[in-house]
Amino acid sequence: MKLFKQLLFLLFISSFNLSAQFSINGKITDKQNQPLPFANVILLSKEKGALPKGMVSDDNGKYSFEKVKKGTYTIEISMLGFKTKNLKAFELNSNKTFNFTLEEENESLDEVVIQSKRPVIRQTAEKLVLDLEKSEMLNSNLQDVVKRVPGVIVTNNGINFAGRSDIRILINGKTTDYMDVETLLQNLPADNIAKVELIEQPGAEFDAEGSGPIINIILKKNVRLGTHGSVGVWVGEDEGIEYGANASIASYKNKLNWQLSTGYSAPTWRNDLFINRRVVDPGTNETVTYDQATIEPFDPKNTWLSGSIDYYINDKNTIGFSTRYNNTMSDRVGSSNTEVRSSTNMERFVTENSFDRERNTFSINPYYEFKSDHDKFILDFNYVNFINENINTIEDVDGNTVPFVNQRYLQDGKYTIKTIKADYNKNITDEFKVSFGSKFSDVDTDSDLKLFTQNASGDFDFQADDSNRFIIDERIFALYTKVNYKWSDWSLSAGVRYENSDTRGTSTSTDETRTRIISQLFPSASLSKKLTEKLGANVAYSYRIRRPNYNSLNSFVTLYDPLTSEVGNPALKPAFTNNLQFNLTFDNQPFFTVSYSETSDDLFLFISQDDATAQISRTTINLQDRQNWNFRLFGPLSFIENLDGFTGFIVDYNKFESNELSPNLFLSKWNLGWYTQASYKLPWDINAEMSSYFGTGALEGQIDAGWIGDLSFSFGKKFLDDKLKVNLGINKVLNRGFVGTVNYDNIDANIESNGSRQNVQLRLTYSFGSRFGKKKAKRNASEEEQNRIDNNN
């Protein structure tokens, strides 16, 4: 009986121990001992099949897990902008307290981290990072976000930075499949964006493609434990009512992570072009005036669907797959009216240009990733299939007084891009890192451009002599290596990239094949030093190549109206650019920059005029030399109470020169610009934001543009425990169109390009689901080939 009681007592004690539950708590701070709210805290059990527990730290940086069973656990702390911290496995047999201090995450060893309340900016020798996940800004779309990057200017003609408009846009390191900047800026919701990188001096890990800076848009990944998502709608007025909707859902449970998103948009805008030319008639020596007005409305319908899945095999190995489908349809009519006036006569060209366009993009992207404390390896494959089908009909309408044969163009393009990329990073010590990588891409393009003219019966006849099918097969193989080293107050990043490209273009009309093989080394380097507690400096250099986009190589002639055409140039060569830059940061803010670039064989959009017919034609040529100087001086606005943002001055100088043209071409101009982006908290917790730019004028190729101005506002507020975001954007409150002149050889013209005026958009976004989080690495594999599929909507 006594033995029975002892056994019963032991069984009771054992049962108590097995069912015992404990608490785990602590506090999360940064190096300045400031609490970090909303840090992701994951409690992982070593028990097989156990699900992780997650939470976020409170406003005081504190976290707490209650009623945790006895066992072996690890803890992972992560927060965007900070290094992830992992606590070694521990036995839980009593209540535990673990405090954590997180360190700022430096993406490269030469990085100087600088913070402001809204937004957080990190400046390196290679790039400036705008971190939206730490920002209180309520943006509408990518256009709003890009305007917040100091020095970036968004105009009717696209994006400009430091006097250069040859800017590449990447999304997660890959060139966007939207294929035109206007659609991308208006349709990518800002809620999907984690941060924006402005990369002026790309390192060896980036493709050498491009002569201007890179804007890399990093989309939000599924970083939350559990299931969550958002739905959004927007409505606006531009050239009519515009609207759109989008939805996304994501889930992270145990080892599986998946995401789905879809959306539809129907924006409206307008691009108008006015050209007034004075042409000297070679027969009579009389000056004839050509006054041309072209009105082009845009109303595309965009649909997209994307999905991704990631599976965490174990702590070090991950596999994943993503896919995306994009469809854009546009059915619109542009009109052109040209009055031809002389002292004795007046004629009028009046035509309509009907566009029926559809393009479809499908991409798949499987990958494998290995990651440990000191090693990281990524193998990434990307496949893109892009089909662009256009029917363009030009016909005269009532009011036309000049005989004109109606024409129809069928412009079909098919593009297939296959890319495989491998990257390996090794952290030898905390101060020394080496990187290696390789990439191979195979690009096949088929541009079938056909011309038809209307006969007397109203049918369109095929014109074989004026049509052309151009097929390109391009293969690019690349290798790179890079080192990052830090000692004392110095840090160095240096690398070299080797690229071998083999391009073969065949014209079926002439049965001629052109071959271009380029083998080239592309070095890059940056050196940084912390001068004082507040002052830091860095200098960077890069050497790059810009290859012609595939459509510009086709010699096909496209007629936009009876007097304006565009011609391809199969003889184009790539352009090579040397970039050099010096940066100063003061008091942890962007302060002063000097940059210089020189490009040989610059890809230059050249305008010429035939005096006999008064027709003007655009074609891309290789210009002998281009130089660009840029000076930037920026300062924060935080010295004004309740105001955040930047203001500063930008001075740039562009020079275009060629002794190979007749007459010789020499164009140069200085431009002074004033840039301001400011945020202010209004009553009732309304965020108000303003962005503006005013410039004295600059060169846009041959066009000498006059002063330019832009002013936009945004107002945002959160409701329902921050789940509902409401944003009202008022763009182009003050917007001067592109106004300039062309005076070269026999061309004497005034040009004005006006887009839409005031634009108003109201956006609502509602978020639902889990608030817990688990940080994941973001992959970055650039695909410069897509950037050269240059099609306007």
What does the pLDDT read at residue 105? 61
On whether both 534 and 640 belong to a single domain, the answer is yes
Averaged over 59-64, what is the pLDDT?
84
What does the pLDDT read at residue 582? 93
User: Greater confidence, 480 or 223?
Assistant: 480
20-58 CB burial, b ≥16 within 10 A, e <16: eebebebbbbbeeeeebebbbbbbbbeeeeeebbbbbbe
CA dist 113 and 105 (Å) reads 8
Averaged over 347-355, what is the pLDDT?
92
Cis bond upstream, residue 663 (ω within 30)? yes
Strongest mean pLDDT among 83-87, 214-218, 320-324: 320-324
Cβ(45)–Cβ(7) below 8 Å: no
**627 is written with which tokens?**
């130089």
CATH number of the domain within which 65 lies: 2.60.40.10
Beta strands in 281-406 (DSSP E): 287-298, 301-312, 317-341, 346-371, 375-396
Q: Which amino acid appears at position 675 of this protein?
A: Y
- The mean of the pLDDT values for the chain is 83
User: DSSP string of 14-56?
Assistant: HHHHHH-EEEEEEEEE-TT--B-TT-EEEEEE-STTPPPEEEE
Query: Looking at the domain assignment, is residue 195 inside a domain?
Result: yes
On whether both 9 and 138 belong to a single domain, the answer is no
Phi, psi of 100 (to 5 degrees): -130, 140
Closest of 503, 362, 379 to residue 443, by C-alpha: 503
- List the single range of 187-191, 217-221, 333-337, 509-513 with lowest mean pLDDT: 187-191
Beta strands in 200-255 (DSSP E): 214-219, 226-237, 241-253
Q: Give yes or no for residue 703 having a pLDDT over 80.
A: yes
On whether both 258 and 384 belong to a single domain, the answer is yes
Cβ(763)–Cβ(186) below 8 Å: no
Which sign does the torsion angle of CA 321, 360, 220, 235 carry? negative
Q: Which domain holds residue 17?
A: 2-101
Q: Give yes or no for residue 426 having a pLDDT over 80.
A: yes
Cβ(505)–Cβ(471) below 8 Å: yes
Cβ(564)–Cβ(230) below 8 Å: no
**698 is written with which tokens?**
């600059």
pLDDT over 70, % of the chain: 86
CA dihedral 104, 230, 184, 392 (to 10 degrees): 160
Cis bond upstream, residue 300 (ω within 30)? no
User: DSSP string of 99-133?
Assistant: -EEPPBPPSSTT-EEE--SSSEEEE-SSEEEEEGG
On whether both 487 and 581 belong to a single domain, the answer is yes
Length of the chain: 793
* Cα-trace Rg, the chain: 29
pLDDT band at residue 58 using 50, 70 and 90 as cut-offs = confident
CA contacts within 13 A on the Cβ side of 226? 14
CA contacts within 13 A on the Cβ side of 336? 22
CATH number of the domain within which 640 lies: 2.40.170.20
On whether both 7 and 154 belong to a single domain, the answer is no
DSSP 613: T
On whether both 654 and 728 belong to a single domain, the answer is yes
On whether both 712 and 743 belong to a single domain, the answer is yes
Lookup result for tokens 């887009």: 755
Strand-pairing partners, residue 578, are: 543, 598
Strongest mean pLDDT among 34-48, 626-640, 773-787: 626-640
Q: Give yes or no for residue 113 having a pLDDT over 70.
A: no
Strand-pairing partners, residue 348, are: 339
On whether both 243 and 381 belong to a single domain, the answer is yes
DSSP 142: H
Averaged over 142-167, what is the pLDDT?
72
Return the SS3 of 182: helix
Query: Looking at the domain assignment, is residue 713 inside a domain?
Result: yes
CA dist 193 and 498 (Å) reads 32
**281 is written with which tokens?**
């008639």
Return the SS3 of 599: strand
H or E segment at 3?
helix 2-19
CA dist 787 and 172 (Å) reads 14
Q: Give yes or no for residue 313 having a pLDDT over 70.
A: yes
On whether both 13 and 146 belong to a single domain, the answer is no
CA dist 698 and 350 (Å) reads 32
Query: Looking at the domain assignment, is residue 108 inside a domain?
Result: no
Closest of 203, 164, 557, 222 to residue 394, by C-alpha: 557
Cβ(81)–Cβ(105) below 8 Å: yes
User: Greater confidence, 555 or 424?
Assistant: 424
CA dist 305 and 315 (Å) reads 30
Cβ(36)–Cβ(102) below 8 Å: yes
What does the pLDDT read at residue 289? 94
Query: Looking at the domain assignment, is residue 107 inside a domain?
Result: no
pLDDT one-digit tens code per residue, 376-421: 999 999 998 999 899 999 999 999 998 889 999 998 989 999 999 9
Q: Give yes or no for residue 701 having a pLDDT over 80.
A: yes
- List the single range of 218-232, 311-325, 345-359, 621-635 with lowest mean pLDDT: 218-232
CA dist 751 and 295 (Å) reads 14
pLDDT band at residue 555 using 50, 70 and 90 as cut-offs = confident
Q: Which amino acid appears at position 193 of this protein?
A: I
User: Greater confidence, 576 or 103?
Assistant: 576
DSSP 585: E
Averaged over 491-515, what is the pLDDT?
89
On whether both 219 and 323 belong to a single domain, the answer is yes
CA dist 194 and 79 (Å) reads 13
pLDDT band at residue 207 using 50, 70 and 90 as cut-offs = confident
CA dist 366 and 323 (Å) reads 9
382-394 CB burial, b ≥16 within 10 A, e <16: bebebebebbbbb
CA dist 156 and 273 (Å) reads 11
What does the pLDDT read at residue 757? 67
Q: Give yes or no for residue 84 having a pLDDT over 50.
A: yes
Q: What is the pTM of this model?
A: 0.79
Cβ(73)–Cβ(53) below 8 Å: no
Q: Give yes or no for residue 116 having a pLDDT over 50.
A: no
Q: Give yes or no for residue 137 having a pLDDT over 80.
A: no
Domain count across the chain: 2
Distance linking the first and last C-alpha atoms of the chain: 91
Cβ(79)–Cβ(39) below 8 Å: yes
CA contacts within 13 A on the Cβ side of 224? 18
Strongest mean pLDDT among 125-134, 558-567, 601-610: 601-610
Return the SS3 of 508: coil
Cβ(386)–Cβ(789) below 8 Å: yes
On whether both 165 and 231 belong to a single domain, the answer is yes
Averaged over 455-464, what is the pLDDT?
93
Number of Cβ within a 10 Å radius of residue 302: 20
77-103 CB burial, b ≥16 within 10 A, e <16: bbbbbbebbebeeeebeeebeeebebe
Query: Looking at the domain assignment, is residue 111 inside a domain?
Result: no
What does the pLDDT read at residue 754? 78
Cβ(712)–Cβ(732) below 8 Å: yes
Closest of 443, 420, 566 to residue 505, by C-alpha: 443
**601 is written with which tokens?**
């064989």
Cβ(172)–Cβ(102) below 8 Å: no
Query: Looking at the domain assignment, is residue 45 inside a domain?
Result: yes
Query: Looking at the domain assignment, is residue 110 inside a domain?
Result: no
What does the pLDDT read at residue 191? 67
On whether both 53 and 161 belong to a single domain, the answer is no
Compute CA 110 distance to the chain's CA centroid, rounded to the nearest angstrom.
23
Cβ(474)–Cβ(456) below 8 Å: no
**638 is written with which tokens?**
């935080």
Question: Please, is 345 exposed, middle or buried when counting C-beta atoms within 10 Å of its C-beta (0-12, 13-18, 19+)?
Answer: exposed
Query: Looking at the domain assignment, is residue 94 inside a domain?
Result: yes
Beta strands in 511-556 (DSSP E): 512-530, 535-546
